[in-house]
């Protein structure tokens, strides 16, 4: 007996007690309940917080107050030259990023930007450095990054984000504050970017 015959013999044995006139449709197969799909905005907030970033949800009317809280202690704040004026906070000295050198970027207390979109499943913020987002160096050198993300910018997964993004634009994908570990797993923050990330989720 070859392998094929052996397999068919086992199938016939397994089906020996099945009536010949029975069809698959006659047998009710229990199905697990459909998984509960979490709200993508709630999931995004949860995943961003998992990365040790601070997430604050607010309405547009509450945004100025939440901005002031997120920027508490910031004396000099870097802002993109095209940051919407309604996002200009009161209090800190605003330093416009007119392609400042790295030494000047390092001298500010933080940077405030908008975002292109957020990814719920991974807790990732994506910048394509369009209006209000600044250039890449401006979001990597300062020690604090405060980022405003609207709830309607949150997509479910990475494929949704890739489909929405322009592949010809530069992109920065941010999953929490900058952190790395050495061979002994000692965590060091602020090596490759901001040590502190604060996200204002508006909507």
191 has a pLDDT exceeding 80: no
How many other CB atoms are found less than 10 A from the CB of residue 94?
15
The tens digit of pLDDT for each residue in 88-142 reads 998 899 999 999 999 999 999 999 999 999 999 999 999 999 999 999 999 999 9
Residue 115 contacts residue 133 (beta carbons within 8 Å): yes
Residue 202 contacts residue 59 (beta carbons within 8 Å): yes
φ/ψ (deg, to 5) at 44: -60, -50
Q: What is the mean pLDDT of the chain?
A: 89
Fold of 40-202: Rossmann fold (3.40.50)
Cα–Cα distance list, 16 to 5, 9, 12, 23, 151 (Å)? 16, 10, 6, 14, 58
The tens digit of pLDDT for each residue in 61-86 reads 999 999 999 999 999 999 999 999 99
User: How far apart, in whole angstroms, are the C-alpha atoms of residue 201 and residue 149?
Assistant: 5
Enter the pTM of the model: 0.76
């Amino acid at each position: 007996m070859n392998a094929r015959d052996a397999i068919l013999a086992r199938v016939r044995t397994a089906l020996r007690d099945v009536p010949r006139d029975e069809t698959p449709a006659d047998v009710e197969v229990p199905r697990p309940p459909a998984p509960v799909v979490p709200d993508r905005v709630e999931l995004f907030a949860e995943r961003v917080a998992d990365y040790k970033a601070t997430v604050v949800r607010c309405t547009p009317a509450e945004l100025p107050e939440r901005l002031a809280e997120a920027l508490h202690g910031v004396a000099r704040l870097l802002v993109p030259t095209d940051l919407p004026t309604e996002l200009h906070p009161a209090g800190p000295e605003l330093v416009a990023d007119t392609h400042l050198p790295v030494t000047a970027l390092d001298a500010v207390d933080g940077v405030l930007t908008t975002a292109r979109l957020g990814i719920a499943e991974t807790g990732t913020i994506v910048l394509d450095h369009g209006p209000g987002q600044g250039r890449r160096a401006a979001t990597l050198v300062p020690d604090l990054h405060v980022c405003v993300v609207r709830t309607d910018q949150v997509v479910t997964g990475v494929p949704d984000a890739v489909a929405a993004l322009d592949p010809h634009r530069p992109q920065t994908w941010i999953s929490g504050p900058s952190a790395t570990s050495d061979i002994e797993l000692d965590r060091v923050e602020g090596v490759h970017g901001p040590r502190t990330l604060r996200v204002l989720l508006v909507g």
